[in-house]
Amino acid sequence: MYLFNQHLSPIYSSVMLYINVAHEQNEQQNTREIKMSEKNEEKPLVHIKMKVGNMEFEINCREDQVKDVIDKILSSVASHASLQTAAPETTTQPPRAETCRGVIERLWREGWFSVPRSLNDVHKEMTRIGYHYDRTAVAHVLLDLVRDGILTREGKAKRYLYAQKRPPTL
């Protein structure tokens, strides 16, 4: 079924040469891919957690890329830090935890008790300004301040009104 003599035909020789060259190129490509995959397998992935100042970073890269990645991060942090130092810093004092007694004494110093107030009034005012204490704790502090001579109370049990006995000293 051959139309030409395989061994003598120049077309056959050209085709076979082309097939051999293509086969060799394919083998070379496969060899390169195997070497590349071996190189990638030689360099395992590295997971790094890093904290610089108040910034945290997580890095996933090959072992041979760690130095470059860290250099990039540090240069970014340095440029970010220089921008922050250029802006004026405003420092605010952290909110101080106050005792129930401290809050009520502050209300007294501000003159809030110049008008008689009920336990419910005191509790609502403390809640309004951001201090959430139990009503029984507030009642105990009010009683202690009455005993200390700072406040006075009038009325009947469970309906007492608390007022300043003496004005606060400046």
CA 83 to chain CA mean position, Å: 20
Q: Where are the domains of the chain?
A: 1-42, 44-78, 100-164
pLDDT at 33 over 70: no
- Which run of H or of E encompasses 55? strand 55-62
Quick: pLDDT tens for 72-130. Answer: 877 877 777 776 655 555 666 656 668 999 999 999 999 999 999 999 999 999 999 99
How many CB atoms neighbour CB 103 within 10 A?
A: 19
User: Is this prediction's pTM over 0.85?
Assistant: no
pLDDT recorded at residue 91: 65
Q: Which contacts qualify for 132-138: CB closer than 8 Å, 24 or more apart?
A: 133/100, 133/103, 137/100, 138/100, 138/104
Residues 6+ apart with CB under 8 A from 123: 133, 135, 138
Angstrom distances, CA of residue 143 to CA of 49, 52, 137, 160, 161: 55, 52, 10, 10, 11
pLDDT recorded at residue 69: 79
% of residues, the chain, pLDDT over 70: 65
Name the β-bridge partners of 32.
none
pLDDT recorded at residue 55: 76
The CATH fold assigned to 100-164 is Arc Repressor Mutant, subunit A (1.10.10)
Q: How far apart, in whole angstroms, are the C-alpha atoms of residue 145 and residue 139?
A: 10
Burial degree of 121 (CB within 10 A; 0-12, 13-18, 19+):
middle
Residue 15 pLDDT grade (very low, low, confident, very high; cuts 50, 70, 90): very low
Asked if residue 149 lies in contact with residue 102, where contact means CB atoms within 8 angstroms, the answer is no
pLDDT recorded at residue 117: 96
